[in-house]
Structure formats: C-alpha cells, structure tokens
C-alpha cells in the first residue's frame, strides 16, 4: 500500500518548498531565542523566576510556569501548523494537477499507493520537523532548568504530530473533493483552528458535544495532552477518536482519486 | 497481427465549471495501432489529442467505448511496465536535478542498482543531457526540460511510447535530434503514438496518421492514403476567362489562376481555353503537403 520511493521523494520535494523552508526558519529562530533569551530560576525544584532577555519575572510564578509549559508544548508549534496546512494542501492538490503525477501513474504505481505514499511522506516530514524542534527546545529548557523540565511535556508535541495525521488526511480528502488549493487550505484551517477543537470541549451542551464527535478532533489533542500533563495521567481518548477520522478521510480520498480525471 | 493500441467507439464529455458548457472532448473515436508503427495524431488545439492519449493511459476515464492496450483493457495495469509517456508541458520539481528525476522515475519503473545507473547514463547521452545532469530542473531551458521528459519516457525501454508534443519548444537542431531518435526507435520495433502540431515533422516519421477535429477522428491512414492520388496543377492566364467564377483573379498583376487535379482535368481545361483562343501564361505542377490535406479536412468540417 506504500511506495517508499514516493514517500522519500515527497519528503525531499516538500522540504524545499517555501512554506516548509519558512517553517524551518521559524524553528531556528525559536531555538536561538530559547538558547540565548530565556532564563529559568529554580529553588528547591520549584520555578521561582522566568527571565526573557534579562528581564526577570518573579510574580505569579505558578501561573507563569503553566504558561511556559503551554508555550513550550503548544503555541510555537501551533503557529507552524498554519504553514504546514497550506503547504500540505499544495502537495495533495498536486496529485491532480502535476504532469509528473501523470507520468508516475503510467509506472507500476497505483493511484491508491500514490495517494497514501504522498500522505505518509508529508506526515513523516512534518512530524520529524516538529518532534526534532521540540526535543531541541526541551533539551535547552532541561539544561537551563537544571534538570527540572518534566519529560511528560514532550507528549504535547507528540500529540501535535498525531493531529497532523488527522488534518492532513482531511485536507487530502478535501483536495480530491474541491480541487482548489485556496478552498482546501481554508477548509482545513477552519476545521483545525475552529471547528475541530469543539471535539475536545467537554463543557459544550450535551447535544452540541454529541454532534462535535462527528468532527475531526484537531486542535484538541494538544489541550487534552497539556491538561493530562498538568493534572497527571494521560487521556488517550482523543487520540483514539482521531484514528477513525484518518482512516475514513484517507479511504474517501483514495476513492475520489480513483474516479478523477488528471489534467 | 493484433493491434497494440485500440479504441472502439470511445467518447468523452465533461462540463466546464458547475453550470458551464458541456464539452464533447471525444466522439465515437475508433482507431488501432499495430506493433512497430508510428501513429501521429493531428489536430488543432483542443481537438482532443491529449484527452485521447490520457484515456489510453487510464489517466482520464472515457464515458463510453472500449480502450485496449496490448489486447487488455486500459483499466488493468498489466501494460504499465511496457509504456513510456511524455505529457504535454512536462515538468518536474524545480529542486530536483536531471539525474535525480531520472533515478526517481527509473526506480518507480522497477529499475534498480547498476541497471538503473546504466540506463540513466545512456538516456542522458542520447538526449545530450550528460553535461547538465547535475543541474536543477528550475535552471533548465524549456527545450532541456522537454529532453528530460523524453529521457524519462525512454528510461525503462518501453515497447509502447506516448509522446504528446515531443518537439514543441525545441530549436531546429533539437527537433532533428528527436526526429532521428523516433526513427531509430521505430526501426527497433517500438510502437509510438505521437501528438503534434508540426505537420512537416510528422510527415517524416509517421507510418500512419489520424486527424482529430472537435473530438472526431475525421481521417486516418498512411500519408499516401491521405494525400490526393492525382497531381495538382495551377493554370495562369492574362485575359478574362470564359467561366469567370472558377478562376481566382490576382487584381494587381491582372492574372487569373485556377487549380485542377489530375492530367485529364488539366487537358480538359487547356482544350477549353484553346477553344476560346486563350493561351495560358503558365501551367505549374503543385505539391500537396500534409498541411494542405489537414487544412482541407478542417475547413470542410468548418463549412
């Protein structure tokens, strides 16, 4: 079901795309800021001060520590998600519009294999980028906190990686449905940043919450993970709910791709 | 001999936009190509040539009709190891090198290791791309991208080649190189389906021709089948002719011209002129080219 040559080439091709280059640049900038701009002061394994380029904050340190964890595990990667979604939409739509795709499909490669291999290549690339980025930041924070940075925090970027799987599967499916990059990007961004996170919101009225279960649980995994970290224990239910969405989206995408005429 | 490539009553139509015009890209097209033949599809832009090629390759699905490759329906994938394809406006990711593109597509064709390297080098040599092999696609000229497209189509030594506008954008030297390459491939037994606007090129390499117009195959056969069987002549006179409507009047020169086909018609016209005491200024034999035949078919249908 997967062609490793296509997976490898998808990674290589996307790595040189402007969106991904820009994302890599942002990651490098963040690593630079973390390395030289952030200072963590611990006393008896308790965070007592958080410094940013020499300006030390000592009030409300407990809240600050939570915000720090949130920033570390979420906000930086969250911003990159915007770039990855747009870049991913271009890759998925390229399957219908690129002359090279037409050539590949005259080789012994089926449409299903091409579709799934492109998806997997994209997912691997983004996951590796985000995880590598997060681990580097974690290592810097671990060093600066004299070993007080909890390992569990790394579960948050891992949960992002799983979200990439869900949202890329969704955008691969919508690419086959609407055949327009702007349309695919907008739909994916709406689902990720607005609609999808409803699936993780347990404070919604019961009816709305039940309906929200029909949505891909994107934008929710990170918060669930973060909550799990801060309160102890990990809730895997959202991850498990993401899996059927990936399977259904990819299945529907493959079905539509088989029925499409290539331009 | 069983045809390598065959369509039976293939039709394809699609709608432009959600509520747009319904376009009949192909209408009831039936044709076949035998092993080792070079079949050229001719037609204006939008005639349906590329659509027909894509239907053969299962990239576009026909609404009706049957498409066979090597005697098997195109929907089966058994033909995939034996087919090479150059799409119209071939392109590859700009960040890849020429060698990288060939390695990638060679691997997808099932080539590995030493054989893959040998084949890549051979095609780079054949298409005069060896010196450019490490250049990125984004830095190549249009002509060199086309050469790369042809190289990838030939990489796995296919038995059947689909070439969509293989000389578009090439300089005269490049066109000659591709023409000679096609002739060599045809001699070695490769079957070729060629789409082209360049009729003079096609005339030199194709065994058989098909003229597509507005989705219909309006003529097909060998060059000699399509060219008129009789020699055409142009007769020139300097006085007002007896049947004025049949003549073209070149006002500035004061000369009237008329074309006739075959020696009998020419003789008849000359006798008629003689009976009116008109001496022709000149009788010129005309050469009918494929372009004349093509334009004649197109204009007949446009009337």
Determine whether the interchain pair B77/A104 forms a contact, defined as Cβ–Cβ distance below 8 Å.
no
Comparing CA positions, the residue from A256, A250, A259, A255 lying closest to residue A116 is A250
- Closest-CA residue of A relative to B51 is A263
The half-sphere exposure of B189 on its side-chain side, counting CA atoms within 13 A, is 4
Can you give the pLDDT at residue A108?
Answer: 92
User: Nearest CA to CA, how far is A103 from chain B (Å)?
Assistant: 6
Can you give the pLDDT at residue B9?
Answer: 93
Per-residue pLDDT averaged across A73-97, rounded? 77
Determine whether the interchain pair B110/A108 forms a contact, defined as Cβ–Cβ distance below 8 Å.
yes
- Closest-CA residue of A relative to B110 is A108
pLDDT tens across B241-278, in order?
A: 777 777 887 766 678 888 888 888 888 888 888 888 88
Q: Among partner residues B59, B88, B152, which is closest to A105 by beta-carbon distance?
A: B59
Comparing CA positions, the residue from B39, B145, B13 lying closest to residue B89 is B145
Tokens 């000679």 belong to which residue?
B180
Angle between helices A181-190 and A76-97 (to 10 degrees): 150
What is the pLDDT confidence band of residue B132, given thresholds at 50, 70 and 90? very high
Identify the contact set of chain B against chain A, taking CB-CB distances under 8 A.
14, 54, 57-61, 77, 80-81, 83-85, 87-93, 95-96, 104-105, 107-110, 152-153, 162
Distance in angstroms (rounded) separating the CA atoms of residues B121 and B280: 63
Given a contact cutoff of 8 angstroms between Cβ atoms, the answer to whether B137 and B31 are in contact is no
Determine whether the interchain pair B57/A105 forms a contact, defined as Cβ–Cβ distance below 8 Å.
yes
A117 interface with B at CB cutoff 8 Å? no
Q: Which CATH class is domain B34-57+82-222?
A: alpha beta
Can you give the pLDDT at residue B301?
Answer: 57
Can you give the pLDDT at residue B54?
Answer: 94
Comparing CA positions, the residue from A242, A211, A212 lying closest to residue A225 is A242
Distance in angstroms (rounded) separating the CA atoms of residues B89 and B54: 14
pLDDT tens across A17-65, in order?
A: 888 888 888 888 888 887 888 787 777 777 777 777 778 777 776 676 6
The more confidently predicted of residues A74 and B108 is B108
A5 interface with B at CB cutoff 8 Å? yes
A151 interface with B at CB cutoff 8 Å? no
* Full DSSP string of A130-168: HHHHHHHHHHHHHHHTTT-S-GGGGHHHHHHHHHHHHHH
Tokens found for residue B194: 């060629």
What is the pLDDT confidence band of residue B67, given thresholds at 50, 70 and 90? very high
Determine whether the interchain pair B59/A3 forms a contact, defined as Cβ–Cβ distance below 8 Å.
no
pLDDT tens across A194-224, in order?
A: 776 666 566 777 777 777 777 777 766 666 6
User: Nearest CA to CA, how far is A99 from chain B (Å)?
Assistant: 6
Distance in angstroms (rounded) separating the CA atoms of residues A204 and A202: 5
A104 interface with B at CB cutoff 8 Å? yes
Determine whether the interchain pair B91/A99 forms a contact, defined as Cβ–Cβ distance below 8 Å.
yes
What is the pLDDT confidence band of residue A80, given thresholds at 50, 70 and 90? confident
| CB proximity list for A260: less than 8 A, separation 6 or greater | A96, A176, A179
Can you give the pLDDT at residue A69?
Answer: 60
pLDDT tens across B12-38, in order?
A: 998 777 677 788 889 999 999 998 899
In chain B, which residues fall in CATH 3.40.50.300?
34-57+82-222
From chain A, the residues in CB contact with B107 under 8 A are 5
- Closest-CA residue of A relative to B13 is A261
- pLDDT greater than 80 at residue A237: no
What letter does residue A205 receive in the DSSP assignment?
-
User: Nearest CA to CA, how far is A157 from chain B (Å)?
Assistant: 29
Its pTM stands at 0.83
Determine whether the interchain pair B108/A6 forms a contact, defined as Cβ–Cβ distance below 8 Å.
yes
- Closest-CA residue of A relative to B90 is A99
Angle between helices B98-108 and A4-15 (to 10 degrees): 150
Q: What separation in angstroms does the CA of B116 have from each of A112, A184, B107, B159, B192?
A: 25, 38, 7, 18, 23
* Pick among A12, A94, A100 to test the B interface (most B CBs inside 10 A): A100
Torsion of CA A144, A148, A151, A154, to 10 degrees: -50
């Amino acid at each position: 079901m997967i062609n490793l040559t296509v997976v490898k080439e998808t990674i290589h091709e996307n790595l040189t795309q402007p969106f991904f280059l820009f994302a890599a640049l942002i990651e490098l900038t963040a690593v630079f800021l973390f390395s030289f701009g952030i200072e963590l002061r611990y006393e008896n394994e308790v965070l007592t001060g958080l410094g940013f380029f020499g300006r030390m904050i000592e009030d409300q340190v407990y809240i600050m520590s939570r915000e720090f964890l949130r920033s570390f595990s979420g906000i930086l990667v969250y911003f990159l998600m915007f770039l990855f979604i747009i870049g991913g939409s271009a890759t998925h739509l390229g399957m219908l519009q690129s002359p090279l795709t037409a050539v590949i499909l005259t080789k012994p490669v089926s449409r299903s294999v091409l579709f799934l291999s492109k998806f997997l290549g994209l997912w691997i690339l983004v996951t590796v980028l985000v995880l590598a980025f997060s681990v580097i930041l974690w290592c810097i924070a671990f060093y600066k906190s004299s070993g007080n940075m909890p390992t569990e925090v790394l579960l948050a970027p891992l949960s992002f990686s799983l979200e990439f799987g869900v949202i890329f599967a969704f955008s691969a499916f919508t690419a086959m449905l609407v055949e327009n990059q702007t349309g695919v990007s907008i739909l994916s961004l709406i689902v990720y940043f607005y609609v999808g996170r409803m699936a993780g919101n347990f404070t919604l009225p019961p009816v709305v919450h039940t309906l929200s279960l029909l949505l891909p649980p994107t934008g929710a995994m990170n918060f669930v993970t973060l909550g799990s970290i801060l309160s102890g224990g990990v809730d895997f239910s959202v991850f498990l709910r993401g899996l059927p969405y990936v399977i259904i989206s990819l299945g529907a995408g493959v079905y539509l791709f088989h029925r499409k005429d290539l331009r | 001999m069983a045809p390598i490539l065959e369509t039976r009553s293939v039709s394809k139509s699609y709608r432009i936009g959600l509520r747009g015009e319904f376009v009949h890209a192909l209408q009831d097209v039936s044709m076949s190509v035998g092993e080792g033949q070079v079949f050229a599809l001719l037609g204006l832009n939008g005639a349906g040539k590329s659509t027909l090629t894509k239907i053969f390759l299962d990239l576009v699905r026909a609404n009706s009709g049957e498409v066979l490759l090597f005697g098997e329906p195109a929907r089966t994938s058994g033909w995939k190891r034996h087919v090479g394809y150059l799409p119209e406006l071939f392109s590859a990711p700009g960040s890849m090198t020429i060698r990288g593109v060939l390695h990638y597509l060679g691997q997808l064709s099932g080539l590995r290791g030493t054989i893959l390297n040998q084949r890549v080098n051979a095609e780079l040599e054949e298409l005069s791309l060896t010196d450019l092999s490490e250049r990125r696609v984004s830095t190549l000229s249009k002509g060199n991208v086309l050469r790369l497209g042809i190289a990838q189509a030939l990489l796995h030594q296919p038995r059947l080649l689909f070439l969509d506008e293989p000389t578009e954008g090439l300089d005269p030297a490049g066109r000659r190189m591709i023409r000679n390459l096609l002739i060599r491939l045809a001699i070695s037994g490769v079957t070729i389906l060629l789409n082209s606007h360049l009729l003079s090129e096609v005339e030199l390499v194709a065994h058989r021709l098909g003229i597509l117009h507005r989705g219909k195959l309006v003529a097909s056969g060998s060059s000699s089948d399509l060219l008129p069987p009789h020699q055409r002549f142009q007769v020139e006179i300097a006085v007002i002719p007896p049947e004025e409507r049949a003549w073209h009047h070149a006002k500035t020169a004061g000369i009237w011209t008329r074309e006739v086909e075959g020696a009998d018609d020419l003789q008849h016209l000359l006798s008629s002129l003689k009976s009116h005491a008109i001496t022709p200024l000149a009788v010129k034999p005309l050469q009918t080219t494929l372009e004349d035949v093509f334009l004649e078919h197109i204009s007949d249908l446009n009337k």
